[in-house]
Amino acid sequence: MEKPIILKAAKLPEATVAELKATFDVIDLPTEPEAARAVLEAEGARVRGVALRKTIIDTAFLEALPQLEIISSYSAGLDNVDVPAVKARGIVIENTSHILAEDVANAALGLALAVTRDLVQADGFVRAGKWPGQPQYRLGRSISRMKVGIVGLGTIGQALARRLEAMGAEVHYHGPRAKPVDYPFHADPADLAAVCDMVILTCPLSEATRHLVDARVLEALGPRGFLINVARGPVVDEAALLACLAADGLAGAALDVFEHEPQVPEALIADPRVVLTPHLGSGTEETRQAMADHVVDSLARHFAVPGPRSRPALASAGQVRSA
């Protein structure tokens, strides 16, 4: 029986690549644009599935793959995919938001604790030998007594909300529409910021969310407010954030993602009120392995072919189906 042909348009773990090649006929997409175009022209008509990570999937790419049935993405975000065009073709999209939600929520909570309790600077204080001369370190802020706004109450946002509730925080949220949950909904992100002590971003990047957190939202959050971003860097207008911090318009920020990463503005690096991490929200061994497994397993399920090994099927919350 002929194996389905899969286009590997992603840098994936070696073990995952081996599993793909054991299960499917795999065509590697070169990273160099001219070479990639040549492969699409020569082989695109035979491709039925795509293993994806960061490659841009636009209309031209889709036109080169007339038999495409499924895109299986290693990432949670689909900002590199023209989702409306994919759905218009009836192509299934699988991503990993349901797999990485717990670890990203943990990372968001860790960043929130780090910035409110000044944990990074406190570590430096002890290491520098300053504690004996200053027995009382400056006081932090209590998340347990805060109103915390979540922008994007999807799989990750809801996992985070559960953790915040357990800590005693009052959860509010903003998104494109209200959901059947008990948390207060705010249609305007500035309104959310105005009533909250902290805003945490867990939303996808899209044209609607690009620079969603702008000067207006930051001003509403105010000089006692904290901003946490584990979503995508361009959700925040970085220039507006820098200006706000320079004017003492925020108490602090904790950022795992940046507008032009891996480049991080020097002003953020130099600011002791800002906690910085290198886009590691889902970065645990267990979750990255599960994400890689899902790329192979979702393709195997779609084409009803035996997978590389027996693994429990994960919930299909990561699937985006056509209407």
Global confidence as pTM: 0.90
Q: How far apart are CA 182 and CA 86, in angstroms?
A: 33
Among 2.40.37.10, 3.40.50.720, 3.30.70.20, 3.90.1170.50, what is the CATH number of 5-96+285-320?
3.40.50.720
Domain boundaries, the chain: 5-96+285-320, 99-276
Task: Name beta bridge partners: 81.
Answer: 57
State the pLDDT at residue 144. 97
Catalytic residue, from 43, 69, 165, 261: name it: 261
- For the cut 50, the answer to whether the pLDDT of residue 147 exceeds it is yes
* Contact present, 68 and 49 (Cβ < 8 Å): yes
At residue 14, does pLDDT exceed 60?
A: yes
- The fold for domain 99-276 equals Rossmann fold (3.40.50)
258-267 average pLDDT score: 97
Decide if 261 is catalytic: yes
Confidence of residue 322 (pLDDT cuts 50, 70, 90): very low
Catalytic one of 48, 172, 186, 232: 232
Residues 6 or more apart whose Cβ sits within 8 Å of residue 214: 237, 240
Q: Do domains 5-96+285-320 and 99-276 have the same CATH topology?
A: yes
| For residues 135-160, average pLDDT | 96
Q: Which of 89, 216, 273, 279 is catalytic?
A: 279
Closest listed residue to residue 11, CA positions, set 292, 298, 307: 292
Report the alpha-carbon angle 189-190-195, nearest 5.
100
Half-sphere exposure of 201 (CA within 13 A, CB side): 29
- Does the annotation mark 232 as catalytic? yes
Residues 30-89 pLDDT 10s: 999 999 999 999 999 999 999 999 899 999 999 999 999 999 999 988 999 999 999 999
Task: Give the pLDDT band (50/70/90) at residue 317.
Answer: very low
Q: Is 285 a catalytic residue?
A: no
Which is it for the CA torsion 40, 43, 45, 51, positive or negative? negative
Single-letter amino acid code for the residue at 100: L
